């Protein structure tokens, strides 16, 4: 499903974020990307989600070479993914409902169908009944769950999360991780970047370890 072959990413200015990275993630697999901060975890996720393009090697997503996509095809590629960003990237001038409905509008799903899916997504993350609330009034854990609801509302086959438990205390972090495990249980491919060794040790999932832009395992 996702295949990296000797992938390198050199940012303008000469900073080499990744070099010679090769791995494969199968459909429905749960994978962790780990390493110290600055090891290239975020860059790796951005390459998977077609937000960045590799400067060396090939990135194949479902047999499509990301580097060779036409610019007009990239938005359609990105819709295959549900993204949970490190900094949430919630829209603070819109309420919970409008935040979650955005990916559906981008996919052209409107009206009752959209409302139904938004409620289903909010129900899954335990935020049902907070549709009208503004994100700023939510706690850190709730904001993270809102970000997850937005990532899963269009039912992507791949869920990508960048440090989803980074700023949360242990109880909240466990709740969030259980959410991701639940999505993995129903067949979604889940890829999580985390520097938190404890969450990974418990799971027994595939682990991609990065050190200064290179894979160590």
Partner 1 sequence: MKHWISLHREALRLVLDRMWSTKLATLMMLSVIGLTLSLPAGLYLVLDNAGRLAGGIESDPQISLFLNIDASNETVKALDKQLRSHKMVKDYRFVGRDAAWAELKQKAGLDDLAGGLEKNPLPDAFIVHARSNEPETIEQLRQEIAQWDGIDHVQLDTAWVKRLYSLLQVGRQAVLVLAGMLGFALLAVVGNTIRLQILTQREEIEVSQLIGATNAFIRRPFLYAGSLHGLGGGIAAWLLLAAATTLFNFSIEDVARLYASDFRLTMLDGGTILILLGGSTLLGWLGSYLAVSRYLSSIH
Q: Which residues of this chain interact with partner 1, rule CB under 8 A?
A: 49, 51, 71-72, 75-79, 81, 83, 85, 89, 91, 93-94, 102-103, 105-108, 110-111, 150
CB of 79 to partner 1, least distance (A): 4
DSSP assignment of the chain equals -EEEEEEEEE-TTS-EEEEEEEEEE-TT-EEEEE-STTSSHHHHHHHHTTSS--SEEEEEETTEEGGG--GGGHHHHHTTEEEE-TT----TTS-HHHHHHHHHHHTT--HHHHHHHHHHHHHHTT-TT-TTS-GGGS-HHHHHHHHHHHHHTT--SEEEEESTTTT--HHHHHHHHHHHHHHHHTT-EEEEE---HHHHHHH--EEEEEETTEE--
Closest to partner 1 by CB, 107 vs 203, is: 107
The distance of closest approach from Cβ of residue 81 to partner 1 in the complex, given in angstroms and rounded to an integer, is 8
Smallest distance, partner 1 to C-beta of residue 192, A: 18
Nearer to partner 1 by Cβ, of 9 and 19: the residue is 9
Task: Tell me whether residue 71 or residue 187 sits nearer to partner 1 (CB atom).
Answer: 71
State the nearest-atom distance from the C-beta of 115 to partner 1, in Å: 13
Residue 91 or residue 197: which is nearer to partner 1 going by CB?
91
CB of 14 to partner 1, least distance (A): 21
Q: Between 31 and 100, name the residue whose CB sits nearer to partner 1.
A: 100
């Amino acid at each position: 499903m996702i295949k990296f072959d000797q992938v390198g990413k050199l940012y303008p200015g000469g900073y080499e974020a990744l070099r010679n990275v090769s791995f494969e993630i199968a459909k429905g697999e749960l994978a962790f990307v780990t390493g110290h901060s600055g090891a290239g975890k975020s860059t790796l996720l951005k390459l998977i989600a077609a937000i960045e393009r590799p400067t060396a090697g090939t990135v194949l997503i479902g047999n499509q070479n990301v580097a060779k996509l036409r610019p007009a095809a990239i938005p359609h590629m990105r819709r295959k993914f549900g993204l949970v960003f490190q900094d949430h990237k919630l829209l603070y001038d819109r309420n919970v409902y409008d935040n979650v409905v955005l990916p559906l509008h981008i996919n052209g799903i409107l009206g009752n169908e959209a409302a139904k899916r938004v409620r289903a997504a909010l129900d899954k993350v335990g935020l049902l009944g907070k549709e009208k609330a503004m994100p700023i009034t939510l706690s850190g854990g709730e904001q993270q769950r809102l970000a997850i609801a937005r990532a899963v509302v269009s039912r992507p086959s791949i869920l990508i999360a960048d440090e989803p438990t980074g700023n949360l205390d242990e109880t909240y972090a466990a709740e969030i991780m259980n959410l991701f495990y639940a999505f993995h249980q129903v067949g979604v491919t889940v890829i999580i970047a985390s520097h938190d060794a404890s969450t990974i040790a418990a799971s027994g999932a595939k682990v991609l370890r990065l050190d200064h832009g290179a894979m160590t395992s």
